[in-house]
Each structure stands twice: as structure tokens, then as C-alpha cells.
């Protein structure tokens, strides 16, 4: 019991402190530790598996999901990324299986619950500290600001986790009463901790101002009310002593009133936005769901591969569409379908349905006084989370997903199931099933260890000086040859001093993954940079070059146009790429002798697109001046957004998620001719 509690407690605290947070994606040491933990979990599962019906079911469910994710990674648009992200998904499955086995005993269920409550208490305490630090600096006249995130990435993520922890506080009051019946003081202390924990968790959940969190909280409350109505006629025991219910209800009612009366009604504002079009983000989410549905329709069977959603998503934003590019579609189920296909969504749905139905079946046994309050709380929490996930996705936050998988393991666990023998009698068949699971996981782990060491070198290169950084980057590329990001970063570092090498690096990165519009854009600008060096200045006319120079210029312009066209096809709503295509088409017309047509295209680009670059205006003015035309009707030049920001710091550069190759949008990575 003590060892089990210690292991679960350490794991949950590690995940919420650093291991399962977004910050962990930037730290090679944490990624390495996560991979080792995942590998150790699976080896322990396969070594301890028994020939029982529960273990056969466990192996079948986990095996089908594991094999499908690995198979879908083979057909991914970027297999290198998908195989690594698949390891993260395997950690989720491993936590689910271990929680399932642990929760077969009442003490095991209690260990999981206490570890989850400890993590919840830590997040609540940190969130309250963040809110109290912000409160004195609250801007006058506009108190609405979402400032609490705990250790997670966003207030929405914190809200979804708090949904999982909230009912467990109340379950503690009911379940621990059985263990402290003879110790009135101990039970009074536990009751006080449970009520205070529930109130503070609810308070933080309200302060997140998360619509998904509110919807999940309402669904969780409704599911519990539905259970109480079912128990009304047949229950002989109560989860919460009836004389304590008025105190708890009054406390929650007072809390709700106090929060809603905060100056500015900033929580009330989000509550109203759930049922109105008050908030523009409602429209943005609907648009994202439509675009993601197009993704699912395009590759409905296998999906785009684990972790590849943000790489493929821009392709489905139409011209003039909502350019709110997130790392997920704000819908858990669309996220799974887009990355793992409908088969992956179906397998995930089967697992979730089994957990919910089996949990409900166990809860019905309350008439026989065998119900476990933690199981009831876990069932209600999972219902609230699954409903709230219609408006959010936590698939990329390992800490939250591991907490969810632990509660699903509690729901599906049945202490009676382990007593029945499986129909799988032959030992050879059983060993073959275990071996078929162990081999791919071991092979995957070996490759990931190599990738982790490459990530260590890359992180050192980012912090090093130029010559040292180049050597470290080259070693990273040798260890991880399929990582498009490493090659592109080396090209980015060398493009001012050695354009030829930089072009080769970007061509190499596109061989690894040709679906990145920014890499096509940078390669196009490297061709323009060579063109500028060929002609000397953008004030020169291309049609006045010598025949040999004109032939070379034609090749560079054609290559640049191909690159920008590919970038635009991968991100059709990007007006900046569209302006680049128009400007290079103008250069093509100029080389073909149509100078007036070139001026018109450049003029149109400057008139209709804010992102037209300086070189295009400079060249258009030079062409017009040579023909005696005055360009006075164009809009003032708008510098690209990349020029308006201060240089990125080292920490900002690392937000590119180099190993996972999922860009958040740092402008420093863009190459411009200027």
C-alpha cells in the first residue's frame, strides 16, 4: 500500500511539476526521462500480465490502439514526428493499464485518488498565488483578464484538469469516513480538507473563465444528480452524510454569488458568452471545426499522423478564412480523428464507452453497499471531462491525459474480474501476444533515445556561439537525419554567409518533410537573394542583363516562383505568400520583356496586400522611373510583421519545439531578402 501510494504520488507530482507540461517539450532531459518512464511502464506491464479475462481485455484494448497508432505513423505525412508522438500516446495507454490493475483493490483506488488530489492541491495553490499576485495590478476599468494557468499551458487546460479533481474532494469525505469511524478528530480534519479543497477548486475553475470548463462542470453535476435520482428508491447508504449536505450546498452557493459579484462581472461575461455570440472566439472555434472536418474527410482512414495536426491544418484554411492557427482544433474528438483517422477515433470511443458503462454497472451495486465513493467521483469526473472536451482538446498535455487515464482505469476496474481464467490456454500463443507488443515498443525506444541525444546537441547549439553551434547542429543532423527542423535551422544560421549551403540545407529539410510552407518560403527567398547578388541592386532592370546573366536570372526566378507557389498551396489563406507569388510573377514578365505588365503586378501587390516587401516596392519604383511612370496611387508600404518585433531571445527561439517540429509561430525563423 505504501509503495503503491509513493509511486503514484511521485508520478503525478512529476507530471504536473514539469514532466507532463508544455515546458517539458522544450527540455531534452525531461523528454528523455519521459521516454524512459514510458518504456519501463510497458516492460512492467508485459512482464506482469496474467492469463485472466481482465488481462486479456487489457492486452486487446491496449494492443489494438498501440498497433493502430504505429501503423498510422507509417502512413503519416511526416513519419519521423508521428513515431515520436506515438510514444507519448503509448504513455497514456500505459497509465490506463496500470491504473486498471491498481484499482482492482480498494487500497489501490485510494492511492490513485490521493495522488490525483495532491496534484490538484498543488495546481490550485499555484493558481491562487498567480491570481493574488495579479489582483493588486488589476487594470482599472477593465478587470477581465485570465491569469491563472497553474503549471499548464492555458486557463482552458487548467479548467479541464480541475474538472477531474473537483469530485474527488467530496469523495474523500465519504470514503475516508469508513476508515476513520473510530477517530472523530481525524474524520473532522478530513472533512474540513475535503470541503475546503472542493470550494477552492471550484473557485479556481470559475476564475479560469473557460466555457469548456463550465460545460464540463455542469455535465459532471448533472451526471451526479442523475445517479442520486436512480439511487433514491434503492440506495440504503449515502455517499455524503445527509446532515452535511446543507452546509456544502450553502458554501457552494455563497461561493458562486461572491464570484459573480466580482467588479466587472468577468466570470458572468464568459457564462453569457456560452449561449450568445458575445465573444468572437465562438465564431473562430466553429470555423476551426469546419476546417478540421475537411481534414478528416481528406484522410478519413489513417489521418495525418500523430502530432501532425498543426502541420496540415493551414492547408484547409480557405482564402479569407479565420487564421487562428492553434496546436489543436479545440475539439478532442476532431483532434483524434484528424491525426489517427476514424479507426483511431472508433478504437478510442470503444475504450471510453467500456470504461463508462463498466463504471456505471459498478455504481449500481450501491444497493448492496459495495460502492466505492472514489469510483463514483471518477465516473462523474470522466463524464464531465468527455463532455467538456467538445470545446477543447488536451491530447497534447501529458499531465492532464495521464490524470484522465487514471480515472478511466478506476472506472473500468472490477475486483471480481481477475478471478476468472482466460480462454487463452496455450502458453505459446500468450507469449507470442506479449512479444508482439514488446518488440515494436523496444525498437521505438531505441530510435527515440537516439533522437533525444540529437535534441541535447541541438539545445546546446542554440545556446552556443556561431562556429560551435554549427558543429553541434551538424552532429544533431547526423544523429537524426529525418528531422527537417535541424537542417532548416542550420540553413537559417548560414544563409547570410553561404547561400549555397543554406539552400542545400533547406532542400534537405524539404526532402524530410515537404509540407512546410515556411521552408518553401525561405528557399524561395534564398533564390531571390542570389538574384539580388547577380544583378547588384533592385534598382537594376532584369531585361537589360547580358544573355548569360539573364539565363541564370530566369532559372532563379522560376525556382523562386515554384517555391512560393508551393508555400501558397500549403497555406492558401496566407496573403503574404500570395503577394510573394505576384511579385515573382512580375519578375518573370520583366524577363520576358513585358515591363508594363511587371509594373502592374507589383502595383497590384502593393495596393492589395499589406505584406508586400520592401524589395518589390524598390524594384517597382525603379522600373516605373525608367519608363517615366509615377507610382503615386499605391498604398504606403507596410513592413512585414517580422520586422516590427524585437529580435527573439534564446528562450523564444526554443518555442519552435525542435524535436516535435510543431511551430508555434516565432517570426525570427523567416528569411527575407532585406
Query: Which residues in the chain show pLDDT less than 70?
Result: 1, 51, 139-144, 178, 180-182, 228-280, 324-326, 365-370, 415-437, 464-465, 608-612, 631-668, 670, 674
0.95 exceeded by pTM:
no
Query: What percent of the chain is predicted at pLDDT more than 90?
Result: 21
pLDDT at 563: 93
pLDDT at 658: 35
H/E stretch holding 193: helix 184-207
* DSSP-derived secondary structure letter, 421: B
Alpha-carbon distances of 131 from 102, 113, 348, 399, rounded to whole Å? 36, 26, 36, 22
Q: What is the pLDDT of residues 152-196, one digit of tens each?
A: 888 899 999 999 999 999 888 888 776 766 677 777 888 888 888
**Pick from 576, 571, 581, 531: nearest CA to 555:** 531
What values do phi and psi take at 36, rounded to 5? -65, -40
The CB density around residue 245, as the number of other CB atoms within 10 Å, is: 11
Residues 407, 116: contact at Cβ < 8 Å? yes
pLDDT at 612: 67
Which cell numbers hold the place of 321? 478564412
Amino acid at each position: 500500500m505504501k509503495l503503491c501510494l509513493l509511486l503514484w504520488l511521485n508520478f503525478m507530482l512529476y507530471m504536473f511539476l514539469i514532466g507532463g507540461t508544455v515546458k517539458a517539450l522544450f527540455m531534452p532531459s525531461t523528454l528523455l526521462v519521459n521516454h524512459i518512464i514510458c518504456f519501463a511502464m510497458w516492460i512492467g506491464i508485459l512482464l506482469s500480465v496474467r492469463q485472466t479475462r481482465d488481462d486479456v481485455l487489457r492486452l486487446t484494448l491496449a494492443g489494438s490502439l498501440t498497433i493502430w497508432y504505429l501503423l498510422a505513423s507509417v502512413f503519416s505525412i511526416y513519419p519521423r514526428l508521428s513515431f515520436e508522438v506515438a510514444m507519448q500516446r503509448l504513455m497514456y495507454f500505459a497509465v490506463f493499464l496500470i491504473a486498471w490493475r491498481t484499482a482492482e483493490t480498494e487500497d489501490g483506488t485510494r492511492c490513485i485518488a490521493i495522488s490525483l488530489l495532491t496534484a490538484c492541491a498543488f495546481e490550485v495553490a499555484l493558481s491562487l498565488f498567480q491570481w493574488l499576485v495579479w489582483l493588486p495590478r488589476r487594470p482599472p476599468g477593465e478587470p477581465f483578464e485570465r491569469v491563472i494557468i497553474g503549471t499548464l499551458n492555458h486557463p482552458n487546460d487548467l479548467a479541464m484538469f480541475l474538472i477531474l479533481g473537483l469530485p474527488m474532494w467530496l469523495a474523500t469525505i465519504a470514503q475516508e469516513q469508513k476508515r476513520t469511524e473510530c477517530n472523530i478528530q481525524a474524520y473532522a480534519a478530513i472533512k474540513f480538507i475535503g470541503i475546503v479543497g472542493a470550494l477552492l477548486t471550484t473557485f479556481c475553475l470559475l476564475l479560469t473563465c473557460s466555457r469548456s470548463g463550465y460545460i464540463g462542470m455542469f455535465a459532471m453535476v448533472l451526471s451526479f444528480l442523475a445517479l442520486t435520482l436512480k439511487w433514491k428508491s434503492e440506495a440504503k447508504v449515502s455517499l455524503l452524510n445527509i446532515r452535511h449536505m446543507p452546509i456544502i450546498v450553502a458554501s457552494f452557493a455563497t461561493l458562486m454569488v461572491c464570484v459573480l459579484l466580482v467588479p466587472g462581472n468577468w466570470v458572468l461575461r464568459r457564462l453569457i458568452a456560452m449561449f450568445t455570440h458575445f465573444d468572437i472566439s465562438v465564431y473562430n472555434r466553429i470555423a476551426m471545426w469546419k476546417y478540421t472536418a475537411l481534414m478528416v474527410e481528406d484522410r478519413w482512414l489513417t489521418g495525418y499522423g500523430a502530432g501532425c495536426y498543426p502541420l496540415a491544418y493551414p492547408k484547409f484554411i480557405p482564402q479569407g478564412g479565420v487564421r487562428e492557427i492553434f496546436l489543436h482544433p479545440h475539439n478532442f474528438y476532431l483532434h483524434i480523428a484528424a491525426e489517427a483517422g476514424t479507426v483511431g477515433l472508433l478504437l478510442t470511443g470503444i475504450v471510453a464507452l467500456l470504461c463508462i458503462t463498466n463504471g456505471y454497472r459498478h455504481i449500481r451495486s450501491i444497493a448492496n453497499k459495495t460502492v466505492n465513493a472514489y469510483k463514483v467521483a471518477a465516473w462523474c469526473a470522466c463524464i464531465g471531462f468527455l463532455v467538456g472536451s467538445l470545446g477543447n482538446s488536451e491530447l497534447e498535455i501529458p499531465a492532464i491525459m495521464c490524470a484522465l487515464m487514471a480515472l478511466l482505469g478506476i472506472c473500468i476496474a472490477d475486483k471480481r474480474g481477475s478471478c476468472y481464467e482466460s480462454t487463452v490456454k496455450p502458453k505459446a500463443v500468450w507469449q507470442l501476444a506479449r512479444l508482439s507488443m514488446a518488440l515494436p515498443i523496444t525498437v521505438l525506444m531505441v530510435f527515440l533515445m537516439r533522437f533525444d541525444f540529437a535534441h541535447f546537441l541541438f539545445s546546446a547549439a542554440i545556446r552556443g556561439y556561431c562556429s560551435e553551434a554549427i558543429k553541434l547542429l551538424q552532429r544533431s543532423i547526423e544523429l537524426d537525419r529525418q528531422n527537417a527542423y535541424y537542417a532548416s535551422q542550420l540553413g537559417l544560421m548560414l544563409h547570410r554567409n553561404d547561400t549555397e549551403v543554406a539552400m542545400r540545407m533547406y532542400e534537405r529539410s524539404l526532402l524530410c518533410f515537404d509540407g512546410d510552407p515556411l521552408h518553401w518560403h525561405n528557399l524561395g527567398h534564398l533564390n531571390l537573394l542570389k538574384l539580388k547578388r547577380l544583378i547588384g541592386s533592385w534598382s537594376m532592370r532584369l531585361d537589360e542583363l547580358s544573355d548569360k546573366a539573364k539565363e541564370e536570372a530566369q532559372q532563379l526566378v522560376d525556382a523562386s516562383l515554384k517555391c512560393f507557389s508551393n508555400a501558397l498551396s500549403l497555406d492558401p489563406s496566407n496573403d503574404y505568400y500570395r503577394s510573394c507569388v505576384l511579385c515573382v510573377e512580375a519578375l518573370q514578365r520583366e524577363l520576358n520583356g513585358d515591363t508594363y505588365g511587371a509594373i502592374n503586378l507589383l502595383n497590384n501587390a502593393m495596393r492589395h496586400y499589406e505584406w508586400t516587401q520592401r524589395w518589390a516596392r524598390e524594384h517597382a519604383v525603379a522600373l516605373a522611373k525608367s519608363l517615366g511612370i509615377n507610382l503615386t496611387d499605391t498604398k504606403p508600404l507596410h513592413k512585414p510583421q517580422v520586422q516590427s518585433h524585437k529580435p527573439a531571445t534564446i528562450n523564444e527561439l526554443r518555442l519552435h519545439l525542435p524535436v516535435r517540429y510543431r511551430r508555434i509561430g516565432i517570426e525570427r525563423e523567416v528569411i527575407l531578402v532585406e
